[in-house]
Chain A
Amino acid sequence: AQSVTQPDIHITVSEGASLELRCNYSYGATPYLFWYVQSPGQGLQLLLKYFSGDTLVQGIKGFEAEFKRSQSSFNLRKPSVHWSDAAEYFCAVGAPDFGNEKLTFGTGTRLTIIP
Chain B
Amino acid sequence: EAGVTQFPSHSVIEKGQTVTLRCDPISGHDNLYWYRRVMGKEIKFLLHFVKESKQDESGMPNNRFLAERTGGTYSTLKVQPAELEDSGVYFCASSQMRGREFFGPGTRLTVL
Contact = CB atoms under 8 A, between A and B. Distances in A.
A103 B45 CA distance: 7
Query: In which size bucket is the chain B interface?
Result: 20 to 34
A45 B103 contact: yes
B103 A105 contact: no
Contacts, number: 59
Q: Label chain A's interface by main secondary structure.
A: strand
Contact of B45 (A90, A99, A104): A104
Contacts of A94: 98-99
A109 B59 CA distance: 23
A46 interface: yes
Contact of A99 (B43, B44, B56): B56
Given A90-B43, A101-B31, A43 B104 contact: yes
A76 interface: no
B101 interface: yes
A101 B103 contact: no
B96 to A, nearest CB: 12
B72 interface: no
Contact of A4 (B40, B42, B56, B93): B42
Interface residues of A, number: 25
A32 B33 CA distance: 17
Interface in B13-52: 31, 33, 35, 40-45, 48
A100 interface: yes
A102 B40 contact: no
A-B pairs, top 8 by smallest CB distance, nearest first, are A44-B103, A102-B45, A43-B103, A105-B43, A43-B105, A107-B42, A105-B42, A43-B104
Given A32-B98, A94-B99, 19 more contacts: A34-B99, A41-B105, A43-B3, A43-B104, A43-B106, A44-B43, A99-B56, A100-B56, A101-B31, A101-B33, A101-B48, A101-B98, A102-B58, A103-B43, A103-B101, A105-B44, A107-B40, A107-B41, A108-B42
